[in-house]
Amino acid sequence: MNVKMILKNKGGDVISLRPEDTVQTASAILTTNKIGALPVKNSAEKLVGILSERDIVRGLHESGKSCVDLLVQDLMTNNVITCAIEESIEDIQQKMHNGRFRHIPVIEDGKICGVISQGDITHISIEKAQTEANMMRELAIARS
Ligand code: AMP
């Protein structure tokens, strides 16, 4: 199983932010779309950061109510770890574990073609375990 297969299942729609969007706007987009992090692209469509709900919580802790008026560029992580479409699930799990984050943008031909979350990996792992359990059950029935 690789990144390409996950994106094929979940679709490759990528919602993104601009660095100059407000944190209020970012919070609305995260909430409406029920997602935990958004890639940040500049006007040339280049990936320049990632903003997670954790960054907003940190901003609230550090700036209080005025956090909502901060810009995405004030809170985002600039050094984004990405993955390629042909990378294995194990590779990206390792990257997430090493970097202590739960989201990873996928890059193909220099552009973001999707974002994989820890939730997507959990979903795939559950499906895989269910498929294996069904196969074992069918095998046991066939042998009895
Ligand atoms: P997360 O666990 O993904 O919600 O994010 C935890 C922290 O890691 C936040 O500060 C994010 O901005 C940052 N982060 C999330 N994804 C990445 C990534 N792919 N590369 C670098 N930093 C990230």
Full domain range(s) for residue 9? 3-143
pTM over 0.85: yes
Tokens for 104? 């990873």
Around ligand 1, the residues with Cβ closer than 6 Å are 36-37, 50, 52, 54-55, 77, 80-81, 99, 101-104
Of 105, 131, 121, 118, which Cα lies nearest the Cα of 2?
Answer: 121
How far apart, in whole angstroms, are the C-alpha atoms of residue 130 and residue 144? Answer: 21
Dump pLDDT digits (tens) for 12-56.
Answer: 789 999 999 999 999 999 999 999 999 999 999 999 999 999 999
Ligand 1 centroid, distance to 39 Cα (angstroms): 10
- Number of Cβ within 10 Å of residue 51's Cβ equals 28
Give, in degrees to the nearest 5, the angle at Cα 137 between 133 and 138: 120
Distance between Cα 97 and ligand 1 center (Å) = 11
- Report the CATH number that the domain containing residue 87 is assigned in CATH: 3.10.580.10
Count: domains in the chain = 1
Structure tokens at 144: 């009895």
pLDDT digits (tens, 9 = 90+) for 65-116: 999 999 999 999 999 999 999 999 999 999 999 999 999 999 999 999 999 9
